[in-house]
Structure 1
Amino acid sequence: MSRVLVLNSGSSSVKYRLFDGASTVAKGLIERIGEQGGDAPDHRAALQRIMDELDLDDLAAVGHRVVHGGPAFTTATLIDDDVVAQIEAVVPLAPLHNPAALSGIAVARKLLPSVPQVAVFDTAFHATIPPEGVTWAIDASLAQRWQIRRYGFHGTSHAYVSRRTAALLGRPVDDTNVITLHLGNGASACAVAGGRSVATTMGLSPQGGLVMGTRSGDVDPTVVFHLHRVAGLPIDEIENSLTRHAGLLGLTGENDLRAVLHRRAAGDPAATLAFDVYCRRIREYVGAYLAVLGRVDAITFTAGVGENAPAVRAASLGGLESLGIVLDPALNAANEERISSDDSRIAVCVVPTDEELEIADQARGALGQ
């Protein structure tokens, strides 16, 4: 059996995709769950609707996207009561994401009791980062007690894209070093050595690293102290500001890079600054990961912005010719699969991500298929 149903349960939505092997049989999105006029009154009704609409005969597994696996989960895992309890235990590390995943898991286990359920964690791919790459220089006893370390996210995307890049280059995965740049409304970079994550930009949560649609990315921790002590803002308000009203939205009032690019083209100073900040942060991490990896075979852009914004790719990597990175302007403008020039020592690629297919493949792997 090769049919896998992939579920991505959000707080008010369920995204689903049914695979037969690598082929998509059906897909869809149920939105505004529990809201007036929404598609379903609760997650049980939403999943029941999915089950009623799909032919789930001979289903091998249900693969659930779970954002945070904490320190316990380093690979896709067959779900039982103990696994559910461990996912619940790390809810404080992902209070906006894990509860929704748990709701989807609970309902799917009830509706499909004879079908194996597999949790696929965004954090798991980064479990191979060495200790010096996940440890922050804070009080070690506090870090241990409260599980404070770098976990990283977008792992399914970075795993999929790094393998696809190796295939594109015609190289074995275990002998290919890639910097992957997942640039969407959420954004992260990853250094992948021989198919294994060795560094990534997101940390304890999906908040750190690159500039995002509504998230700040890296800021000096003192910003939080200053806003609390000097500005008098409560911690909850600061958290809301840095996660929901920062990033491109905070700089321009727009969280969609397409709108920022349109305003930049019209000469808008705020949009121009936001674009420059966005691209400089990417460039800084590319430079850092060149140093971490030592040898880099490719830099690969993926996700909505990475796959469709030539201006971002050009600004992020422009001027790095001395490091062996040379873009071909025509190939970049056309969003071609390989956008580096023939004399570029490091290939630059554009590879569409497919996180749902990666989840399906990992679910099968967890079952030994």
Structure 2
Amino acid sequence: MKVLVLNAGSSSLKFSLTNTTSKEHEIRGSVERIGLHDPVLRLGGSSRPVAAADHRQALEAVLGHVPKSEVQAVGHRVVHGGSFTASSRIDENVLSRLEEFSRLAPLHNPANLAGIRAALEALPGVPQVAVFDTAFHQTMPEYAWRYAISKELADQNGYRRYGFHGTSHRYVSGRLAEMLGHPLEELRLIILHLGNGASASAVLHGRSVDTSMGFTPMEGLVMGTRSGDVDPGLVLELARQLGVEEATSLLNKQSGLEGLSGYSDLRDLHRQIAAGNADAETALRVYTYRIKKFIGAYAAAMGGLDAIAFTAGVGENDPEVRRMSLEGLEFLGIKLDPEANRRGGPRISSDESRVSVWVVPTDEELAIALDTEKVLAS
């Protein structure tokens, strides 16, 4: 099956035409700066200006390069699936429920919905499927997803830990099991999805039993511009001092590595460290220390650990982040191979390491395409 995979952001539309039989992306690109000045279509290493005042126009530009006749289905990445526990074929009921979940992910779901509506209009009659970032984590036990607040209030409003990046965590855990040559159902894994957004998950016997992101994608690890875990009392103080809107913007867009050093990109951070920037060095320490704490916590939660996977932009490409995140965890049976880590793996732990450590490239577009095919086949 050939699936058009769409990942709509507030001002971007990433896309691929993915063949689920060959598991290859036949076309892959993005439209950037939607609704802003000078929107561009990036495809095959080149870029060209396009008209993209909204997601509908952006999709029209995409379909100028993706033949409609080849699109057998459309798979949409949806960040927040609320109570959905699996990918679902899109109909009016699904759309209505997704509207309700927009308040839970106001930075993501409205854009996802804009992409869905544009595709329904541009490709009438083509089956479409929503693939949720949150679905993989719906297997967490209640004691892992429930917040210690009023149960009645939480249940009425959906205040709970949902987790995100689930499509990536599910795909990478499956690939890691293949690389290990063991059934996923027998393994205790930690997946570290490290990009501008970052999350960790504990995958026990193929099921997510804990993850670092929670009610929103702000919880957990330090990220490019998001704070990760902070004292709720500090959040209240920021809201009192700055107002809710400004505090929300601060924690989402001006915190994390950006707030600590003025640089949100790890490549810039490394250059600043080499130049002697003490704030940049502190930021990297804070970032990797938080990762290390989650590794230790998840090993404890699963009663042991068989393997760790680093994935996504930072996880796949930054050997220093990997080294610092594992430093001091030898007591867990983790021993890094410095040369393999420098090369980028795939295995970066030494032969003596009881816990193997790997670099596993993620492929969320392929995972979405395969899920779309599976939903439609059922």
Whether TM exceeds 0.5 here: the answer is yes
- The alpha carbon displacement at 1:85 in A equals 0.2
Q: Which residue of 2 aligns with 1:48?
A: 60
Which residue in 2 is equivalent to 1:57? 69
Q: Determine the structure 1 residue equivalent to 2:9.
A: 10
Superposition deviation, residue 24 in structure 1: 1.1
Deviation readout 1:66-107 (Å, 9 max, x if unpaired): 000112x11110000000000001110011111111111112
Q: Which residue of the other structure, out of 331, 335, 339, is the alignment partner of 1:322? A: 331
Tell me the distance in 1 between the aligned counterparts of 2:215 and 2:111: 19
Larger mean CA deviation between 336-345 and 104-113 belongs to 104-113
Counterpart of 1:346? 355
The separation in 1 between residues aligned to 2:284 and 2:300, in whole angstroms, is: 25
Q: d(CA) in 2 for partners of 1:366 and 1:353?
A: 21
Describe how 1:1-369 pairs up with structure 2 within 5 A: 2-21=1-20, 22-38=23-39, 39=50, 40-71=52-83, 73-229=84-240, 232-368=241-377
Q: Describe the superposition over 1:15-65 as per-residue Cα deviations: whole angstroms up to 9, x where unpaired.
A: 110012211111111111122332312211111222232123253310000
CA distance in 2, matches of 1:134, 1:235: 25
Structure 2 SS opposite 1:272: helix
Please tell me the residue identity of whatever aligns with 2:293: E
Q: Secondary structure at the match of 1:181?
A: strand
- Three-state SS of the structure 2 residue aligned to 1:53 is coil
Q: TM (normalized to structure 2)?
A: 0.94
Amino acid at match of 2:35: G
Give how far 1:225 is off.
1.9
Structure 1 unaligned spans of 5+ = none
Equivalent-residue separation in structure 2 for 1:52 and 1:27 (angstroms):
13
Deviation at 1:181, TM superposition (A): 0.3
Measured in 2, the distance between the counterparts of 1:59 and 1:227 equals 48
Q: Give the Å deviation of 1:357.
A: 0.6
Q: Distance in 1 between matches of 2:182 and 2:315?
A: 23
Aligned residues: percent identity?
53
Distance (Å, rounded) in 1 between the aligned partners of 2:252 and 2:239: 16
Residues in 1 aligned to 2:295 and 2:35: alpha-carbon distance in whole angstroms: 42
Distance 2:372 2:239 in 1: 44
| Residue type of the alignment partner of 2:309 | T
In 1, the alpha carbon distance for the partners of 2:66 and 2:312 equals 28
Cα RMSD of the aligned pairs, angstroms, is 1.1
- Structure 2 residue matching 1:68: 3-state secondary structure: coil
- Structure 1, 149-158 or 7-16: larger mean CA deviation: 7-16
| Partner Cα separation in structure 2 for residue 257 and residue 58 of structure 1 | 39
Using the size of structure 1 for normalisation, the TM-score is: 0.97
Matched length: 365
Q: Deviations over 1:270-308 (max 9, x none)?
A: 111111111110000000000011131101100111111
Cα distance in 2 between the residues matched to 1:125 and 1:60: 25
SS in structure 2 opposite 1:92?
coil
Q: For structure 2, list consecutive stretches of 5 or more residues without a partner in the other structure.
A: 40-49
| Counterpart residue identity of residue 80, structure 2 | H
Alpha-carbon deviation of 1:250? 0.2
2 CA distance for matches of 1:58 and 1:42? 24
